[in-house]
């Protein structure tokens, strides 16, 4: 493997309010603090991989507003290839108002904005560069047709693909994603997409297995403080969690996927890469924000070796 990763995905402007409690309907309450940052599931995954040293190509649409250029500059500041990050004329940037509770749990609203304009034609335009990649990361903050086209492109050119079906939608046609190399939902997304219960780990395994039975090769379910579950056609492996006290869980699932992608294209070892990803995601929830909470390779390795690193939280 050359170790090159492409993200065909979203970017958002995160508007994060840290609340003492959620407001009730019709109620106004005061919150202690607010932060704005670069986010979006695609962008977060790209930045996590790049911070760990991966060579990353981004295919994305930014808004034609005051945030658009800043988002492109942000990608470039991490060494991400932005030649296929373009502006959607007349469209706002994607934005994500987020509330984070004292427990670290978050509630997120997304407005897709320019991300809704990332179309299959953008994959064709980036085709020659995408062909140089080992793995294409996909999420569901862009049109489904673009996701299907990217999976088809990967199949045609022998490039592995990973789909994180977030945010989950019942409009996702499972028949059109069967060729994805890695399907990575959390429990909630798994429940919505399979219609099966996910209360226990045994139920989660059964729901994941219903997908492998349909033909999806590898399902990786992120289970928050319970770690992750790797389910293939032939085996199930639990990725063990190590407890941390979360400060802000926003973007932890993206940290998990971006870091898994980085380690996987480096080593080709799925289980070892998942173990590293669980540790990386756990480390990320101990700080506020999304991309700014992600460690660089040096920071992550230093924290692991001095024992301050956590192991195993992914949401």
Positions that interact with ligand RIB (CB under 6 A): 12, 14, 39-41, 44, 96, 108, 110, 141, 250-251, 253-254, 290
Closest CA to 101 of 210, 226, 238, 246: 246
254 is catalytic: yes
Residue nearest ligand RIB by beta-carbon distance: 39
Closest CA to 222 of 181, 251, 247, 262: 251
Tell me the three state secondary structure of residue 187.
Answer: helix
Q: C-beta of 7: minimal distance to ligand RIB in Å?
A: 13
Q: C-beta of 45: minimal distance to ligand RIB in Å?
A: 9
Yes or no: say if 242 and 312 are a contact pair by the CB < 8 Å rule: yes
Yes or no: say if 54 and 265 are a contact pair by the CB < 8 Å rule: yes
Catalytic residue among 14, 81, 122, 254: 254
What H or E segment, with its residue span, contains residue 257?
Answer: helix 252-267
160-163 and 182-183 strand pairing: parallel
Retrieve residue 145's tokens: 């047709």
For residue 218, CA distances in Å to 26, 122, 211 come to 45, 27, 9
Distance of alpha carbon 190 from alpha carbon 180, whole angstroms? 16
- Nearest to ligand RIB of 6, 96 (CB atom): 96
Catalytic residues: 254
């Amino acid at each position: 493997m050359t170790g090159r990763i492409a993200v065909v995905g979203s970017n958002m402007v995160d508007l994060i309010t840290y609340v003492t409690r959620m407001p009730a309907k019709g109620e106004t309450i005061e919150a202690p603090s607010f932060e704005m940052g670069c986010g979006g599931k695609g962008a977060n995954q790209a930045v996590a991989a790049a911070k760990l040293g991966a060579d990353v190509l981004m295919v994305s649409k930014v808004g034609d507003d005051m945030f658009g250029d800043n988002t492109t500059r942000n990608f470039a500041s991490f060494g991400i290839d932005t030649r296929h990050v373009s502006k959607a004329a007349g469209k706002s940037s994607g934005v994500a108002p987020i509330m984070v509770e004292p427990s670290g749990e978050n509630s997120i609203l997304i407005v897709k904005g320019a991300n809704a304009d990332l179309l299959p034609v953008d994959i064709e335009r980036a085709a020659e560069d995408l062909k140089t990649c080992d793995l294409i990361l996909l999420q569901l903050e862009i049109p489904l047709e673009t996701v299907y086209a990217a999976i088809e492109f990967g199949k045609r050119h022998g490039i592995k693909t990973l789909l994180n079906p977030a945010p989950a939608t019942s409009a996702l046609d499972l028949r059109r994603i069967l060729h994805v190399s890695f399907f990575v939902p959390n429990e909630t997304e798994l429940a919505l997409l399979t219609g099966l219960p996910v209360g226990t780990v045994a139920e989660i395994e059964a729901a994941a297995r219903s997908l492998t039975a349909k033909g999806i090769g590898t399902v990786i379910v992120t289970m928050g403080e319970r770690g992750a579950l790797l389910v293939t056609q032939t085996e199930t492996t639990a990725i063990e969690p190590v407890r941390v006290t979360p400060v802000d869980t926003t973007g932890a699932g993206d940290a998990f996927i971006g870091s898994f992608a980085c380690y996987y294209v480096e080593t080709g070892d799925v289980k070892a890469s998942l173990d590293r990803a669980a540790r990386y995601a756990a480390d990320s929830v101990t700080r506020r924000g999304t991309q700014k909470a992600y460690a660089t390779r040096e920071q992550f390795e230093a924290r692991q070796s001095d024992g301050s690193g956590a192991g195993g939280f992914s949401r």
